[in-house]
């Protein structure tokens, strides 16, 4: 079944951007289920995946309610193609090792926390309510992931080397968070303020982890407007398989 999605305004696009980023990172993190380094952390990363999935559902349900074409949370997640997704490039990057996974989580969660701080005061009551609920979970995500970044970065020679590699791999995808898409400009999200606070907090955590900040790095972008790395195609092939194979299937 081919389904096309047309949305009336930039606000709906923005809600989809928030939904897509949390869904894709949830899917990425879920790949660790049963494979974590120790049972406690296996459970922790799985719970974070579930938190992100819950956030994604809230955003998708709201986007569906705003649409006029009969979209549902399931059709938005399972029946759109790569170019229709608006997630950040950062969240679709491979897990790599445990160090790369926790660094990716920290870089995103620190951004997400600062964003939700702003959005919980939105004039849109539904968006404000989702942000207020989500920020409680995100606060834990920041604490958990930042502690791991410090633990590994300032740990053994091996763990430090792996974290240096993780920073090198992921840093080029962080700039996109602060490059506003057209729908963000229309909505009035203050990304400049978020970037300033994010820079300060990330610099402090990486400093404590004995990890230098990269310099003169070319920043990748495009995810917010549908131009993705090849990784997203692989993620969606797995995520959407059941719904596309058995259209309309329900548990």
| CA 229 – CA 219 distance, rounded (Å) | 13
| Strand locations in 35-194 (E) | none
pLDDT in tens, 5-64: 333 588 999 999 999 999 999 999 999 888 878 878 878 899 999 999 999 999 999 999
pLDDT in tens, 59-99: 999 999 998 788 999 999 999 999 999 999 999 999 999 99
Instruction: Check residue 188 and give left, alpha or beta (phi > 0: left; psi -120 to 50: alpha).
Output: left
Q: Please check whether residue 144 is in contact with residue 197, taking contact to mean a CB–CB distance below 8 angstroms.
A: no
Enter the tokens of residue 133. Answer: 């609920």
| Full set of structural domains in the chain with CATH | 10-245 (1.20.1260.10)
Number of helices and strands in the chain (H, E):
10, 0
pTM over 0.75? The answer is yes
Work out the angle at residue 54's Cα, subtended by the Cα atoms of residues 51 and 59, and round it to the nearest 5 degrees. Answer: 130
Residues 6+ apart with CB under 8 A from 242: 249
């Amino acid at each position: 079944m081919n389904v096309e999605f047309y949305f009336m305004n930039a606000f709906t696009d923005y809600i989809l951007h928030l939904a897509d980023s949390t869904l894709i990172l949830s899917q990425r993190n879920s790949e660790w289920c049963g494979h974590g380094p120790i049972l406690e952390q296996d459970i922790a990363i799985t719970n974070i995946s579930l938190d992100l999935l819950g956030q994604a559902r809230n955003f998708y349900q709201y986007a569906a309610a705003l649409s006029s074409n009969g979209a549902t949370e399931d059709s938005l997640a399972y029946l759109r193609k790569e170019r229709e997704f608006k997630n950040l490039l950062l969240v679709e990057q491979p897990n790599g090792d445990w160090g790369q996974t926790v660094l990716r989580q920290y870089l995103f969660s620190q951004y997400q926390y600062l964003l939700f701080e702003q959005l919980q005061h939105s004039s849109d009551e539904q968006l404000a309510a989702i942000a207020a609920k989500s920020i409680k979970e995100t606060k834990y995500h920041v604490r958990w992931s930042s502690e791991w970044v410090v633990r590994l970065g300032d740990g053994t020679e091996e763990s430090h080397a792996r974290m240096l590699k993780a920073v090198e791999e992921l840093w080029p995808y962080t700039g996109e968070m602060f490059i506003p898409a057209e729908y963000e400009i229309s909505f009035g999200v203050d990304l400049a303020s978020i970037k300033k606070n994010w820079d300060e907090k990330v610099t402090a955590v990486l400093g404590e982890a004995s990890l230098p900040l990269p310099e003169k790095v070319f920043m990748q972008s495009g995810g917010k407007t549908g131009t993705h790395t090849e990784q997203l195609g692989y993620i969606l092939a797995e995520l959407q398989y059941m719904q596309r194979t058995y259209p309309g299937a329900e548990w």
